[in-house]
Structure 1
């Protein structure tokens, strides 16, 4: 299957009317500009995955479950696990596919628990998930009743992981596309809910990012914004010199009052904080499916309240706001 047909299939008209015509040319440009050397190997692996009919599907609980271990024999299950491990490292999850538990670096279900009771119900909503990774939260949004979910992430490994999960889950109104928010035409105002989780601090211009998010929301639609924050009063912003918790591209980490003022200045209404939590090794850690360094390696070994660079340890907050 050609790349165009692959992504055209994700944007099936019955789920995403008019989006294919708008986004497929942008996807093609992205693939040509940002092609990863492993992309041909990943797509070959996707083509070779066995096709199984899942006897169970559950997108509404902590572990996204697709099928169970009775759906195939041990030999087939082992071949599936071997194939899925070729998409290492798995950052977001967890998933269970035909009895194979993909224990990802992030317990993304913990973040979902922190926000699911605070956001507007997703039933019947069109949702955009910006910086969605491999789509774990997109499946949870579908499980919460969303009418359709488009996730965007320029990292091709994340897209390949989503395609592997979708191969076993089947045809649902959820897509993960190799795009950034800047690839969406300004002022589409097409979505009822827009999520941006773990993205803002990677943007050189946080105000531009907030404007892009607002431009994707219909009037009265809800923004769900999760980001790193620091403690402090209005006006405090940490601008790390060099790395933050070993991340290179962290630009601005505001205090919650500062980000609330940014949201108001960007034109959002009813901005509020619904959760502030320290990130712990229960939520982010190395596993057999993500064998590289993780949070424990990024904190000062003598003082877990600081990063190895001496900054405050990761603290994340969830903000809700309404488009005018």
Structure 2
């Protein structure tokens, strides 16, 4: 591509070309301006991160594994020097929160065992083969790679966090599949397209001040009959139970509403979703979310009551996560 434009602009232009002649093309009426605005206000380290990305050596991974893990290549594909070089560059993009990834036998041991969540969710979703898939709040893109194993037509992840975009592109260096794209925008920035077959939204809803409006937005991305896969924090209770925590929940500042699964079902019904079912409920363990050599800050163990792991340090119920499936 043109060396006079930034890496980010190359990524975005590739997506524009991908959707130009599809039912996603109306997005092009607003997306370039949104991304241009995002670049004007990007993270202070973003230019440095792009320069670091350009330093990755070109490799030819002998293994591309997505069905059981996200694994590209073996150590035997490259020299010891290249392996150390790749690991050193990947560590420049810490903290790594969602994963794990395996790149030429380098284990990016992320804070979250996102593979455990995928193993709980994936048995309950419709096949993604040949479909257009959206992941709202995709983080560094771990689940998008797992989705790609099912041979969808297209996987698009959106998340405004610059570091997540860089982490995604670092992993994509080792599998530049043209069907998978990351855009640094929010789910609320996507116009009404009604063009995706499946929309995933995992770990986002409780960060929204107006969760019902957000559910309406998620529905607007889906084709009629399209499937929503919604994973979020919940509490025990009936259809009227919703926890609105104080300033912090498990030391997170921006947690607004945590409903029961019954209340969340009502919200989804009010937004026009149908065939709603609870696919999974699981209390997050300190084995699933923890500090690692690739995320050295505090993690779940620091956010729970040291005398009672069923409570947060603030005294709220410990994180309980549910996955609900619904149709637009």
TM-score normalised over the length of structure 1: 0.96
Contact 1:190 1:216 in 2 (8 A): yes
User: Where do residues 208-247 of structure 1 align in structure 2 (5 Å cutoff)?
Assistant: 208-247=213-252
For the pair 1:307 / 2:315, whether they are aligned, the reply is no
TM-fit CA distance, 1:9: 2.6
Unaligned runs of 5+ in 1: none
CA distance in 1 between counterparts of 2:147 and 2:230 reads 15
For the pair 1:25 / 2:33, whether they are aligned, the reply is yes
TM-fit CA distance, 1:25: 2.3
Contact 1:153 1:179 in 2 (8 A): yes
1:51 to 31, 43, 58: 58
Q: Which residue of 2 aligns with 1:39?
A: 46
TM-fit CA distance, 1:170: 1.7
SS in 2 for 1:288: coil
SS in 2 for 1:320: strand
User: Where do residues 127-138 of structure 1 align in structure 2 (5 Å cutoff)?
Assistant: 127-138=133-144
Contact 1:4 1:24 in 2 (8 A): no
Contact 1:15 1:173 in 2 (8 A): no
For the pair 1:293 / 2:307, whether they are aligned, the reply is no
TM-fit CA distance, 1:21: 3.3
CA distance in 2 between counterparts of 1:75 and 1:47 reads 17
Q: Tell me the matched-pair count.
A: 320
Contact 1:105 1:290 in 2 (8 A): yes
Cα distance change, pair 296–138 in 1 and its aligned pair in 2 (3 A): same
For the pair 1:322 / 2:327, whether they are aligned, the reply is yes
Unaligned runs of 5+ in 2: none
Aligned residues: CA RMSD: 1.4
Q: Which residue of 2 aligns with 1:67?
A: 73
TM-score normalised over the length of structure 2: 0.94
Q: Which residue of 1 aligns with 2:163?
A: 157
SS in 2 for 1:117: helix
